[in-house]
Chain A
Amino acid sequence: MTVSAGIGYALIALGPALSLFVSVIASKPFLVLTVLSSALLWLVSLIILSAAWRAFLPLKSSIWLHAILLITSVSLQEGFRIFFWKMYKRLEDILDAFADRVSKPRLFLTDKMQIALAGGLGHGVAHAVFFCLSLLTPAFGPATFYVDSCPHMPFFLVSSTLTLGFVTIHTFSMVIAFNGYAEQKRVDQLFVPIVHLAASLLTLVNLIPGGCLVGIPLVYFVAFLTLLHCGKMVWRRLHENYSRIEVAE
């Protein structure tokens, strides 16, 4: 599909992530580190998953088997998210204690949210690199490819658009999740795994002939829901926090 199409697909999948990185993350080294360690953690979860599933290879082509694979994968990743949160909590306590010692301010709420955002972005970028960029090399050549079950769009376009949806979901889910664990809000804590599972299972719709025309919009719907929920939650939290400060003053 030539170099221009290859670059186009890469930008569709990772352009917004790049913008987020440049505008929010890049100026703060700690956030950059968070992105990297989160990406690494996500990859480790995949390695463990693939080691566990190795025993069952080769898999038969069955939607139910794919569904079970997705459910185990999402469960493991959600488990890792909790682990990530616990590590972050410990780090937060250490950082706050250090700040107290050197008489510097503690972590603000916005800082905490940015750390969560960076964590989510790390997950998203790792997903994008693993599931999209690694397959994109042939897209830089002259040929294109159409899958039998989706003759309407080239395979690379399907891959990139789905990846963009998932990057969005991963990035903002982390903010919601961290907030849910911090505030002990059950709704937020359950929202993230359900949304993650729903989006993953919705990709199975693409296996049905012509399904990609339905599957991709559905994933974007889920991504939009995540964005909306996150936006509402951040707005509420920040306003609550600052009005509390004013009241305190």
Chain B
Amino acid sequence: MAFKLHYHRLLSLVLLILLLFSVHRSSAGVEESFIESVPDLQNKMYMVVDGYPCVRLLNISGEIGCANPGRVKVVAPIVRFKNDMFKLVSPSAILVPPDKMEDFFNKLHSDKELAQKIAGVLIKTNIGYSNEIFGFSPVGKFPQAEFAPYRNTTYNWNPAGSGVMWNRYDFPVFLLSQNSTLKLEEIVESADIHNDKFHVDVAEFDVVMQTTKVGNHNSETCLKDQSCLPLGGYSVWSSLPPINVSSQMEKPIILAMASQDSASFFRDRTFGADSHLSGMIALLAAIDALSHVDNVNEFGKQVLDVGSVGKGFSEGKATFFSHVEEESSGSKEILSALEKAAASLKPDEIVIQNASSSNPGIPPSSLMPFFRKNPSTAGVVLEEFDTNINTTSIVSAAAVVARALYILASSGSGFSSSILSSININASLVEELVACLLTCEPGFSCKLARNFIISNEACPNHYVGVMLGSPVAVPSLENVGDTSRFIWNFLAERNSIRKASSNSSCSQGCTSPSEVCVGAETGKGVCVTSTTRYVPAYSTRLKFENGWRLVATNAEDPLGEVDPVWTESFWNSIGLRSYKVQSQTYDQLILWVGIALTISSYVAILAAKAALRKSLKRD
């Protein structure tokens, strides 16, 4: 009878709860993603954070960059950046906004006590601003000062330069992607709100460098121990028009150069340094324009260098500064060509101005080593000051360069002004190049790039990278970076002699030695007559003989004496994860509760057995 009452009560309880469900069903809003397996659960527990790491670089005298201090992963609670960081109790991972980064790192470099409390640093990415930060420059005030052909190496070419990237940090640093910034912001905010003592959100940094494990602290030892590789890559040169090997006459050369890589605090990501590539884009557009001119003959021994090009459209005028080292006749000729070129374009819209006399010489550029080697080189650096890329200014620079090159190239026979005025820049090509080389969408998945290369990363990476394999004149394409391969294919195609007949496919290579295969990787390669080559670019202090070796300095190579010989450490894997962790007290508590339950249930069972036996015997 007593049970029937229980039964009724139970049934009504169940019915009541079922009723509750029908009320709550709409309000519960059960719309969670399901965990369907243990690996799913594992993935939900450990959130992989996308980021760009700062890695360990070594030079002749020491190290720069960042790495885990030892051989193990670094795990630390994530803490928001505050101005009173010195109040931190235990080593933490600091979430830093990008505008506070330079000051913070300068402080860390000088204050060793504060640096000990920092287990790792996470730099946020400003949403909406992508990679552009006004005035951010981790390089020094005079980049590449050691290669300057003049004595004043303290001149402030880069006022915004903080020099933070040249310091050595013994903790890992990551630049977060936009997505990860949002996720970590959420985590830190909810931690601030809940302030739970029992669990805490941590970041786990895996930036263990091989040089740290082996104990190498400079390039020489790490190259010997094979724990690093030298920084370097493949430059590209191409001749317009293609060199006719059978012709006896050797023509003099005009060299137009632009840099295709950039240094950065974070290995695969540059903040606002895209202006480096603007010079390259201007040069490519200029070559494209020139390639449409018939009978381009080149002679004259002059060097024109296109440096970085940026904004500068004040009152509708684009102002470019030309820098020369010495007022040689060669340099004067280049300057005059530039002025004539500027004049032939829309008048009063482009101005070539001589650089200020307070400058000690040419600005940091690829021209510096040329002058250091041979002070009578005729060369000009064309530059315009910093910050954001502007397609119109790139088009202007390209137009000036293209026309100036034509003037210089025809300086013997004189140039034709009708041909000069027909040299115009394809503005849509410039836009396409900007989209391919300077953005992640489309990046290297753009149409122009897809005809030339196959890239795994849509986001173009302009970090110079390391020399893979041995440095050879015809490298295997997997050892050449995406940017270099793109430029090679572009120049090979533009600087080729166009044949009337359809081009042959080069799946088996090209027959004639003067031909190269454009777009070989895509499978739809085409043989063209062009003189385009890769040039291995690495320190003159290194030699490759079954591995890299540092060679002694010699008097014939003065630049080798000041060459820092940059190398990059090997690593096993680089990663960043975030997860929740319980306090140690909690873990111990759970263990003891489990043990207590087991023991007490054992005791209870024995007691029950004894009680039953006793009562039955009694009866």
Contacts and interface: CB of A to CB of B under 8 A. Distances in A.
A2 B595 contact: no
Contacts of A5: 582, 586-587, 590-591
A48 interface: no
Contacts of A4: 587-588, 590-591
B619 A243 contact: yes
A157 B586 CA distance: 11
Contact of B609 (A9, A23, A134, A198): A23
A137 to B, nearest CB: 6
Interface string A113-140: 0000000000000000000001101100
B537 interface: no
B224 interface: no
Interface string B10-52: 1101100110010011001011101000100110111000000
Interface residues of B, number: 54
A242 B17 contact: no
A19 interface: yes
Contact of A67 (B21, B588, B593): B21
Given A16-B601, A19-B598, A187-B4, A198 B199 contact: no
B7 A204 contact: no
Given A15-B598, A144-B45, A194-B10, A8 B590 contact: yes
B570 to A, nearest CB: 26
Contacts of B199: 144, 146, 154
Given A19-B601, A142-B579, A191-B7, A2 B21 contact: no
A56 interface: no
Contact of A1 (B14, B42, B582): B582
Contact of A15 (B4, B17, B41, B601): B601
Contact of B30 (A61, A143, A194, A239): A61
Contacts, number: 154
B197 to A, nearest CB: 13
Given A134-B38, A194-B11, A144 B592 contact: no
A144 B34 contact: no
Contacts of A145: 41, 44-45, 580
Which of A2, A62, A242 has the largest number of chain B CB atoms within 10 A? A2
A143 B579 contact: yes
Which of A8, A64, A234, A235 has the largest number of chain B CB atoms within 10 A? A8
A138 B593 contact: no
Nearest to B29: A209
Interface string A206-238: 011100000000000000010001000011001
B296 interface: no
Contacts of A194: 7, 10-11
B581 A144 contact: yes
B14 A198 contact: yes
A135 B38 contact: yes
A96 interface: no
Given A8-B594, A207-B30, A201 B38 contact: no
A189 to B, nearest CB: 12
Interface string A181-207: 000000100110011011001101101
A64 B25 contact: yes
A135 B594 contact: no
Given A12-B597, A195-B10, A243-B619, A148 B606 contact: no
A135 B39 CA distance: 10
A11 B597 contact: yes
B28 A208 contact: yes
Given A23-B605, A191-B3, A63 B579 contact: no
Interface string B572-613: 000000011110101111111111011101100110010010
Given A61-B32, A202-B17, A15 B38 contact: no
Interface string A138-163: 10011111101100001001000000
A9 B594 CA distance: 7
A99 interface: no
Interface residues of A, number: 61
A40 interface: no
A143 B587 CA distance: 11
A8 B592 contact: yes
A62 B25 CA distance: 8
A15 B594 contact: yes
A7 B594 CA distance: 8
Interface in B180-208: 199, 204
B587 A1 contact: yes
A234 B616 CA distance: 12
A148 B595 contact: no
B334 interface: no
Contacts of B619: 239, 242-243, 246
Contacts of A82: none
Given A19-B598, A198-B10, A204 B593 contact: no
A24 B7 CA distance: 31
B3 A11 contact: no
Contacts of B21: 63-64, 67, 204
A20 interface: yes
A63 B25 contact: yes
A199 B381 CA distance: 82
A10 interface: yes
**3 interchain residue pairs of minimum CB distance:** A11-B594, A15-B598, A8-B590
19 contacts: A2-B587, A5-B591, A8-B587, A8-B589, A8-B591, A11-B597, A16-B598, A16-B601, A19-B601, A19-B605, A20-B601, A63-B21, A63-B28, A143-B580, A143-B581, A197-B14, A198-B10, A235-B615, A239-B615
Interface of A: 1-2, 4-5, 7-12, 15-16, 18-20, 22-24, 61-64, 67, 134-135, 137-138, 141-146, 148-149, 154, 157, 164, 187, 190-191, 194-195, 197-198, 201-202, 204-205, 207-209, 225, 229, 234-235, 238-239, 242-243, 246
Interface of B: 3-4, 6-7, 10-11, 13-14, 17-18, 21, 24-25, 28, 30-32, 34, 38, 41-42, 44-46, 75, 199, 204, 579-582, 584, 586-595, 597-599, 601-602, 605-606, 609, 612, 615-616, 619
Given A2-B584, A142-B579, 11 more contacts: A8-B587, A11-B594, A19-B602, A20-B601, A142-B204, A191-B7, A194-B7, A195-B10, A204-B17, A207-B30, A234-B612
